[in-house]
Amino acid sequence: MADIRVMRDVLLPPSPSERRHLLSIADLSRDDVQRLLATARSFARSLEREMKKLPTLRGRTIVNMFFESSTRTSSSFELAAKRLSADTISIKGSGSSVDKGESLKDTILTLAAYDPDVIVIRHPQIGGPQLAARNTAAHIVNAGDGKHQHPTQALLDLFTIQEEVGKIDGLHVAIVGDVLHSRVARSNIQALTLMGARVTLVGPPSLMPRGIEGMGCDVSTDIRSIAAADVVYVLRMQRERMLEGANYVPSLREYTARWGVTPERLRPGQKVMHPGPMNRGVEIDPRVADHPESLIEIQVRAGLLVRMAVLYDLLTHGPVGVQTATLTEVA
Ligand code: ASP
């Protein structure tokens, strides 16, 4: 006799919901963030089992479109979708018809023909994900648009801090380096302040956007200010976004001497984070990157959990209880 597998009600894939996007941290309330972090935590427990795949998004289609280089974000979104049993299609800028001059809008319309449930998109231009949201019926997740937003990075950073430090509310985080070109900085300032942390930006005046204090953070041009923080968050020098010929810093060597995060500039017990990819020996000393207080590898693991939580959250109705997330297994 055929082997019949029965699924209980709560184990059925979630039913279709209205379109919801994650384009910016500004789309989220404190409750939303707490719900997403709780869902990520429950997925962490599910990944401890030998059988890591959940049937939660079986029958759903998730398209990953990366028009800018990515290692951590693209691989974790792809694995997150697979761990939730969704079908995935991955498109990269190079090697796709974008190389042949197809516009972003036409590429989106082409992929929309497959009726994807979610499109995850990274684009070098600000507003790429918004354009996608206007031109498809899919839920859109912004995986980084120019120097504007990278909301899932900020969520994984919050998750890492909450799990490793134990709290976000009342914490003091110093974000150091090239703030001017950093979507990670913008998303993190919003996310950290939303959750009650205090943020100090530290870096050369030439890499500090004018008026950034308006986002509710302090600004310092003195690297010694990082010693006062509980967490030091180091940003990459984004050379690919720097205008040709513009001298933001006299030289990389000079930048490292004045702004590099070295063991000598840290206090014992301070946690260090970096979104990757790191320029070892430029913005971060290798001894700091490899130190036990560094949370950099933990951030990568958190990326998978948080991206599973985001995909799950977008495709289910209303608040997602931790219980619901842990129960979605084949009986
Ligand atoms: N990986 C992060 C981003 O895509 C940080 C970086 O590239 O420096 O924004």
For 230-283, how does the pLDDT look when each residue is reduced to its tens digit (9 = 90+)?
999 999 999 888 877 778 988 999 999 999 999 999 999 999 999 999 999 999
Instruction: Select which of 39, 56, 61, 73 is catalytic.
Output: 73
pLDDT at position 15 is 47
- Residue 122 is a catalytic residue: yes
Instruction: Select which of 20, 53, 58, 72 is catalytic.
Output: 72
Cβ atoms of 146 and 124 closer than 8 Å: yes
Q: Which of 25, 150, 180 to mutate for ligand 1's pocket (most ligand atoms within 8 Å of CB)?
A: 150
Cα 262-265-269 angle, rounded to 5 deg: 95
| d(C-alpha 299, C-alpha 220), whole Å | 26
- pTM for this entry: 0.90
- Residue 72 is a catalytic residue: yes
Is residue 164 helix, strand or coil?
A: helix
Q: Which of 153, 235, 280 to mutate for ligand 1's pocket (most ligand atoms within 8 Å of CB)?
A: 153
Question: Considering only CA atoms, which residue is closest to atom 4 of ligand 1?
Answer: 144
Is the beta carbon of 184 within 6 A of some atom in ligand 1? yes
Is residue 149 helix, strand or coil?
A: strand
- Residue 291 is a catalytic residue: no
Q: Return the minimum-mean-pLDDT range out of 3-7, 102-106, 182-186.
A: 3-7
Q: Please give the distance, rounded to the nearest whole angstrom, from the Cα atom of residue 277 to the centre of ligand 1.
A: 7
Work out the average pLDDT over 8-22. 57
DSSP 8-state secondary structure symbol assigned to residue 261: B
Is the beta carbon of 236 within 6 A of some atom in ligand 1? yes
pLDDT in tens, 80-101: 999 999 999 999 877 777 767 7
pLDDT at position 3 is 46
pLDDT in tens, 306-328: 999 999 999 985 433 333 333 33
Number of CB atoms found within 10 A of residue 101's CB: 7
Q: Please give the distance, rounded to the nearest whole angstrom, from the Cα atom of residue 289 to the centre of ligand 1.
A: 16
Alpha helices in 88-165 (DSSP H): 104-112, 128-135, 151-165
Cα 257-296-180 angle, rounded to 5 deg: 50
The two beta strands, 87-92 and 172-176, are unpaired
